[in-house]
Amino acid sequence: MSILGVSGLTKRFGQADVLRGLDLEVAPGERIAILGASGSGKSTLLRCLNFMEMPDSGTVTLDGKIVGRRESELIQVRQRIGMVFQQFNLFPHMTAIGNVMEGLRTVRRFPKAEAQARAEKELARVGLADKAASYPAHLSGGQKQRVAIARALAMEPELMLFDEPTSALDPELVGEVLGVIRTLADEGRTMLLVTHELGFAYHVATRVIFLADGVIHEEGTPDQVLVHPTKERTRAFLASHKEYSLQG
Amino acid sequence: MHKWDFASVFANTDALLAGAAGTLRIFALCLVLGLSLGLIVGLGRTSRSRWLYWPASAFVEFFRNTPVLVQILWFYFALPMLLPFQIGPLAAAALGISLNSAAFSAEIFRGGIQSIDPGQWDGARAIGMGWGQAMRRIILPQALKRMTPALTNRAIEIFKMSTLASAVAYVELLQQGKLIASLNFNPIEAYTAIAVIFFVFLWPLVQMTYFLERRLKRDE
Ligand SMILES: Nc1ncnc2c1ncn2[C@@H]1O[C@H](COP(=O)(O)OP(=O)(O)OP(=O)(O)O)[C@@H](O)[C@H]1O
Ligand SMILES: [Mg+2]
């Protein structure tokens, strides 16, 4: 039984057909790394899963139930799917713990003490217990992203979406964020991760999918897709990617 | 050479105090009405629904492009001929000034809200916030901070516009100045005194906007 199902998903922006009938089934505990060229629709796919973008057609199924289009239902769904962004999107006018408590207080209507206790626990989990009172402006990129992860975890999501969580970070800060994601993986959490960190994808993902032309072009185990790709475009992508990372 | 005679003005302290009270009353009324209506209209101007966007835009265009004085006179003299009720000087003046301030502050609110990084909306919606929660908890607090200097400027404009209420004989400072001048034949002293009183009220407000602007620059 899959926790998340996507069927016939399409999305276009103006003239651009970004997703063209994409199908995907995610089983509980799966960790799916999503690869694809820039502009291939990786972010659009993730954003359609929690309806931050409205798909044009197709269905998204969560726990066997098709998600409708009423705003109240979408709000419920977004609470069950955590999302972490490339640019963190922390709330700059709130402290680290304020950021983590915000969803609990405003959305879940937790009493303050309870929200605080949960938020402290989540901050400790990402190793930032001592930064609870800091504002985002006083945190490093890696710390910001870890707060953002704690903010998403506080809602106790059944599924996590990561959209290039380390792409905006200085290289020396990438490790601490990947370390946190790794811990979540070891806890058996279900996650979809868009990343250019091929090494991380290789070691942590249970499945790798390569997006092209608005559909899944190739998928399989990390070894199948990253080491022995069968499709020409996947090979070209991996080659250009390796070349790029050597230069970088 | 004119022989200055301010004693003839200060002999009317009671009238001036009544005028100051009237000015403050209309200022407070228009500040609250103008800015709250401005927020609502400004939110309409950021809406993607044309049922909200178009009425809000029509409101802004109409009230930005008609003089406040004309509106006040219209509410005072023309509206009662169209509708079966009288409208007092305070209501007419407050309506005119508030609607005009709403139109201008709506544009401040719209600009402030749209200046916030769309990623803030993403962050808020991703944890399950609805539009209202995101606006109230995430977007507006950040936007308001950026808008404070512009909104303080609006408040200063409202304070000065309050003198237009004298056109419908509402008892505020300018109206009282006119009265004192005509009773004592001392327009020079009377109007000078009124100008100075306004300066005393407004100078601290203007200093505050300078301070806020500086602090904002430093923060960003
Ligand atoms: N809100 C939008 N409005 C218009 N076009 C959009 C919008 N969002 C995405 N697009 C377009 O859709 C295409 C896919 O974008 P998307 O961000 O999903 O790609 P991506 O695979 O995540 O790329 P990257 O690796 O650069 O993040 C791009 O051509 C982009 O310009
Ligand atoms: Mg992207």
- Taking only the tens place, the pLDDT of each residue in B48-103 is 999 999 999 999 999 999 999 999 999 999 999 998 888 999 999 999 999 999 99
B2 part of a folded domain: no
B3 part of a folded domain: no
- Residue B4 predicted with pLDDT over 80: yes
B168 part of a folded domain: yes
Nearest-by-Cβ selection for A106 from B126, B133, B141: B133
B190 part of a folded domain: yes
From residue A39, give the alpha-carbon distance in Å to each of A43, A201, A208, A215. 9, 20, 18, 13
Q: What is the CATH number of the domain that holds B36?
A: 1.10.3720.10
Contacts of A168-173 spanning 24+ positions with Cβ under 8 A: A168/A86, A168/A87, A168/A88, A168/A141, A169/A141, A169/A142, A169/A145, A170/A141, A173/A140, A173/A141, A173/A142
Ligand positioned closest to the Cα atom of A15: 1
- The tens digit of pLDDT for each residue in A122-181 reads 999 999 999 999 999 999 999 999 999 999 999 999 999 999 999 999 999 999 999 999
A113 CA distance to ligand 2 middle (Å): 37
Tracing tokens 């109206």 back to the chain, one arrives at B175
From residue B219, give the alpha-carbon distance in Å to each of B50, B110, B212. 36, 22, 10
A45 CA distance to ligand 1 middle (Å): 10
Q: Which domain holds residue B54?
A: 13-219
Return the closest-CA partner of residue A178 out of A158, A159, A199, A200: A200
Ligand positioned closest to the Cα atom of A18: 1
Q: Which one-letter DSSP state was computed for residue B5?
A: -
**Chain B residue numbers touching A79 (CB-CB < 8 A):** 127-128
Q: What is the ipTM of this complex?
A: 0.94
B139 part of a folded domain: yes
B4 part of a folded domain: no
B8 part of a folded domain: no
B95 part of a folded domain: yes
- The tens digit of pLDDT for each residue in A11-57 reads 999 999 999 999 999 999 999 999 999 999 999 999 999 999 999 99
Number of domains in chain B: 1
Q: For an interface test with B, which of A62, A102, A138 has the most B Cβ atoms less than 10 Å from its Cβ?
A: A102
